[in-house]
Amino acid sequence: MNDQHALYPATLLLHSGIDRTPHGETSEAMFLTSGFVYDDAEQAEATFLGQATHYQYSRFGNPTVAAFEARLAALEGAEACRATATGMAAVSSALLSHLRHGDRIVASRALFGSCHWIVSQLLPRYGIESVFVDGGDLDAWAEALSVPTACVLLETPSNPMLDIVDLRAVCDMAHRAGAVVVVDNVFATPLLQQPLQFGADVVVYSCTKHIDGQGRVLGGAVLGTKAWIETTLQPFLRNTGPAMSPFNAWVLSKGLETLTLRVDAMTRNAHAVADMLAASPGIARVWYPARADHPQHRLAMRQMSAGGTLVTFAVEGGKADAFRMMNALELVAISNNLGDSRSMVTHPATTTHMKIGPEERAALGITDGVIRLSVGLEDVRDLLRDLRRGLDALADRGQRRAAE
C-alpha cells in the first residue's frame, strides 16, 4: 500500500483516497459542510498564513472532494488533481488559469462543442489568439507550432468521429514551442489511455461521463504536476469558485470503485457491436479505434489499451434513414449523453454538432447519416438484437424503395 503505483487499477480504485475518521467507517464519510472551525484564533491565523494545514472553506477544499481527487490522481498517475463542478468548468479553468492577454492557443478542430466555443469565441475576447488544426495532420501541427505558443488543447479519440491525435508527436512539438499540453481524455477514460505518459502536461475530464457512469451527477477534474496545479490552477479555482459539491464527489468516488468493471464490460460490448454493424447491409461505414479498418488504427493502439466504449457509424442514406434506425430502437435510448451504463444513440448533425454549421461539420466528416453510439452495460445479446431491429427498419425502407 505504500507504493500505490504498484497496485493494479481495480485495486487502486478501492484502496486509494481513503481518509477514515476515528469512527472507522468502511465507506467514505461524506462531509456536507461549507465551512470549518478552528481550535483557537492562533490556528486560524496559522492556517491563513499557510503555516498550518486545516480546511478553511469548501470553495477552496473539502475532505470528501479531496478523497475523490486523491483516488483519481492515483489512477491517472498524476501528482495532483482538482475537482470541479462540471467537465466544462475543468476545461475553462485549466485554460483561463494558464493563459493571458497576448498568448496563443493551438487546438485540434475536432473538439467537444463547448470546448470549441471557448477556444474560438471566448478566448479571443481576452486577446488570446486561437488557431485550429486538423488533429490528424502532423504537418499542420508543425506549422501551427512553429511560433511561440502558450497552450495546446486536444481531444483523442474525438467526439463524434473518433479521430486520433498522435499524443507523443504533438506533445514534443508543443513543448518546443513552449506550450503546455492539455488533453481532454473523456472518450478514452483514465483506464484506456494515460496522456501524461506520452508527454501531456494536463489532463481534463468530464466526470459526468464514465467516472460517474450512471447518469447521476455532473463533475469535472483537472490533473497535472503539483507545481502547476498549486501555483497556476488553484488560485484561479479558489477565487472564481467552480468547486465540486462534496455530495457529487462522494458519488464520483463510489463511481471510481466500479470504473474498471464498467469500462471493461462496455468496451467488450462496443467492440462486438462495431463488428456486427460493420458486417451489416445498410451501414456505409463504422469507426471504432480497435478495428483494423479505423484509418488510424495502429496509432490508436499505440496510445490506447482498447477501443473504448463509443462506436460511430454512418447509415447508407442521410438524416431520414438515420432517424428511422434510431426511432426503431427499443432498448438503446436517444440522448446526447455518453459514457453511461445504459446505451445511448445521438445524431450529431442535428443535436450536439448542429450549431457548428454545415461547413465545419463537413470538415469534421460529420455527415447526416452519422450516428454516435455510446455502448452500455446491457447483455450484449440484447443490444445486438435491438440494433438489428434498427437495421430492419432501414431494410424495410430499402425494400419499399426497390418496389416503388
Ligand X SMILES: *Cc1c(COP(=O)(O)O)cnc(C)c1O
Q: Which residues contact ligand X (rule: CB under 6 A)?
A: 86-88, 91, 112, 115, 155, 159, 184, 186, 206, 208-209, 218, 220
Shortest distance, CB of residue 399 to ligand X, whole angstroms?
37
Residue bearing cell 466555443: 117
Radius of gyration of the chain (CA): 22
Q: Which is nearer to ligand X, 77 or 113 (CB)?
A: 113
Contact 219, 83 (CB under 8 A): yes
Q: Which is nearer to ligand X, 242 or 246 (CB)?
A: 242
Residue bearing cell 467552480: 242
Spell out the alpha helix ranges (H) of 77-219: 87-98, 113-117, 123-125, 138-144, 167-176, 189-192
Look at residue 74 and give its three-state secondary structure.
Answer: helix
For residue 115, CA distances in Å to 100, 134, 371, 374, 395 come to 18, 15, 21, 20, 38
* Distance separating alpha carbons of residues 390 and 343, to the nearest angstrom: 14
Q: Which is nearer to ligand X, 184 or 321 (CB)?
A: 184
Shortest distance, CB of residue 292 to ligand X, whole angstroms?
25
* Distance separating alpha carbons of residues 331 and 237, to the nearest angstrom: 41
Contact 62, 85 (CB under 8 A): no
Of all residues in this chain, which one has the CB nearest to ligand X in the complex?
Answer: 87
* Distance separating alpha carbons of residues 340 and 32, to the nearest angstrom: 26
Shortest distance, CB of residue 187 to ligand X, whole angstroms?
6
Shortest distance, CB of residue 398 to ligand X, whole angstroms?
33
Q: Which residues contact 51 (CB under 8 A, 6 or more apart)?
A: none
Q: Which is nearer to ligand X, 220 or 282 (CB)?
A: 220
The three three-digit cell numbers of residue 231, written as one number: 501555483
The three three-digit cell numbers of residue 46, written as one number: 496559522
Q: Which is nearer to ligand X, 116 or 397 (CB)?
A: 116
Shortest distance, CB of residue 84 to ligand X, whole angstroms?
9
Shortest distance, CB of residue 158 to ligand X, whole angstroms?
8
Q: Which is nearer to ligand X, 213 or 282 (CB)?
A: 213
Shortest distance, CB of residue 184 to ligand X, whole angstroms?
5
Residue bearing cell 478501492: 14
* Distance separating alpha carbons of residues 315 and 318, to the nearest angstrom: 7
Shortest distance, CB of residue 309 to ligand X, whole angstroms?
12
Q: Which is nearer to ligand X, 183 or 349 (CB)?
A: 183
Instruction: Give the DSSP H or E segment for 287.
Output: strand 283-287
Q: Which is nearer to ligand X, 221 or 325 (CB)?
A: 221
Closest CA to 270 of 310, 312, 317: 310
